[in-house]
Structure 1
Amino acid sequence: MPEFSSGGASIAYEVAGEGKPMLLVHGFAATAEDNWVRTGWVQALTRARRQVVTLDLRGHGKSAKLYDPADYTTDKMAGDALALLDHLGIERASLMGYSMGAGIAAHLAAHHGARFGVVVLGGVGAKMLETGERIGGVAEALEAESAEGITEPLARGFRLYAEGLGQDLKALAACSRAPRAGDRGADLGLIRNEVLVIAGARDDLAGDPGPFAARIAGARAEIVPGTDHMFALANPMFKGAVMDFLAGIT
């Protein structure tokens, strides 16, 4: 993957296809390869005549590994995405984020909406609007000597997932400890883009996408039957709903 420098951090990225640009932002503990290539998104979007831009978020994949939680604020991670568009000379792009990436995408749409066309927020819902920690012990699970003894299912799941991708667990632990003030709905009312909020019916991490979409003027909500948080991106019905949305808007 090529790299560029954003605020002193090396950010790895890829560009595929030709056509209208679309930026994809992956979730926590994931990589661009795992969220967007392995699941067929890059292939589907390039076939739909999109130029697809992906990046490994700081602390993830092939991008810089940082160990201070202050380096993982939403402002800084969203800033990397904007800096990438500037680096590539892209003035305006469609935008899709999943899970933590959807939080970053929502922040971008709220504060830099003119840089983006349609926006897809995947793997988010009512639970993302709740205050307090939604998943207990993620940082501790990532820092543990092994996954044995981790009893919280989601924390254990993130640990095993990150290990399977060969991630830097200490960098991810720092990311999980980053301050997220304002991430859970405060800025949603500022968004003026065409937005789809979508999650699986069995997504216990996100919850119902309807209340989340209700915070955004004119946003659509969609629930995909039979899928959960970890497997939604690979689900054909999830992909079909997003592609139908994109085809109907642009």
Structure 2
Amino acid sequence: MTDATTEFFSGFGGAQLALHRMGAGRPVVLLHGLFSSAHVNWIKFGTAAKLAEAGFECLMPDLRVHGQSAAPHDPAAYPQDVLVRDLEALVAHLRLVDFDLVGFSLGSRTSARAVLAGLRPRRLVLSGMGLEGLAGWARRQDFFVDVIDRFGTIERGDPAFMAQAFLKTMGVDRVAARLLLGTMADTDPAEPAAITMPTLVLCGENDDDNGSAARLAQVLPDAELVLIPGTHMSSVTMPELGDELVAFLSR
């Protein structure tokens, strides 16, 4: 497998954020999911390696509060859409002009919000995301706040048990995570119509954690829907994830 290198850049407010790189060629920024990391989402199961072998340079930040990136406890470090601000800082730091953008779950939400704020990738991939994950984020946010608040007391059989286990496995700073969750506002259901670049809505066939991927594809002007095997948690482990990203971004 192609090896990844790690460096750091300054995000919003000077927060030191980790950036993992793999490959050389056309730049593609990949944003991981909530409580995950670039390594788990893109590197561990070979997705980034497939893109690198296809001639892409994978630029994979650890989002604020995730992986090797800073997790400040100062509420001032968490304005609304701070992850969008961090993405804009990365694009400016790397002086990216012609690039592609890929997100999974929270990374998809961040990518969509960034495009609505003016970022213009050539192609966009929203994976692990449905329309309700953008327009009805408050429900998901409340679920994860509850997981944090009940952390350590949630027992097997509770719908929040698997999220608690993942939070524990990833060693997430729960104080910072709770602050981060408060930065994410709902997106008006009419707004995604302004996302006009070619977009791939890519989702596990048994993944409805963020609502309907089909409905999301329907409201985007230039989108196609592709389903791969898996649930929300398992779809990132599937080889089809990398295969579909290569096929779409290579056009």
Q: Give TM-score scaled by structure 1 length.
A: 0.88
Alignment correspondent of 1:208 = 212
Q: Is the Cα contact below 8 Å between 1:163 and 1:169 reproduced in 2?
A: no
CA RMSD, 1 decimal: 2.2
Question: What amino acid is aligned across from residue 124 of structure 1 in structure 2?
Answer: M
- Name segments (4+ residues, structure 1) moved above 6 Å: none
The structure 2 residue matched to 1:242, chosen from 219, 242, 245, is 245
The structure 1 residue matched to 2:88, chosen from 76, 82, 89, is 82
Alignment correspondent of 2:186 = 181
Which consecutive residues of structure 2, in runs of 5 or more, have no partner in the other structure? Answer: 1-5
Compute the displacement of 1:90 (Å).
2.1
1:117 correspondence with 2:88: no
Alignment correspondent of 2:99 = 93
Alignment correspondent of 1:139 = 145
Alignment correspondent of 2:234 = 231
Q: Is the Cα contact below 8 Å between 2:48 and 2:242 reproduced in 1?
A: no
Cα distance change on mapping 1:164 and 1:80 into 2, 3 Å: same
Identity of aligned residues (%): 27
Compute the displacement of 1:151 (Å).
5.7
Alignment correspondent of 2:35 = 29
Compute the displacement of 1:189 (Å).
1.2
Work out the number of aligned pairs and report it. Answer: 244
Q: Is the Cα contact below 8 Å between 2:22 and 2:58 reproduced in 1?
A: yes
Alignment correspondent of 1:169 = 174
Give CA deviations for 1:96-116 in whole Å, capped at 9, x if unaligned. Answer: 0000110111122223243x1
Compute the displacement of 1:156 (Å).
2.4
The structure 2 residue matched to 1:159, chosen from 149, 156, 164, is 164
Compute the displacement of 1:162 (Å).
1.9
Give CA deviations for 1:91-142 in whole Å, capped at 9, x if unaligned. Answer: 231000000110111122223243x111100001143244751365422322
Alignment correspondent of 2:223 = 219
Distance 1:192 1:200 in 2: 23
Q: Is the Cα contact below 8 Å between 2:22 and 2:57 reproduced in 1?
A: yes
Which consecutive residues of structure 1, in runs of 5 or more, have no partner in the other structure? Answer: none
Q: Is the Cα contact below 8 Å between 2:17 and 2:62 reproduced in 1?
A: yes
- Which secondary structure state, in structure 1, belongs to the residue aligned with residue 57 of structure 2? strand
Distance 2:74 2:112 in 1: 24
Q: Is the Cα contact below 8 Å between 1:189 and 1:215 reproduced in 2?
A: yes
Q: Give TM-score scaled by structure 2 length.
A: 0.87
Give CA deviations for 1:133-183 in whole Å, capped at 9, x if unaligned. Answer: 136542232243515437642x3222211211222122222222334132x
- Which secondary structure state, in structure 2, belongs to the residue aligned with residue 11 of structure 1? strand
- Which secondary structure state, in structure 1, belongs to the residue aligned with residue 30 of structure 2? strand
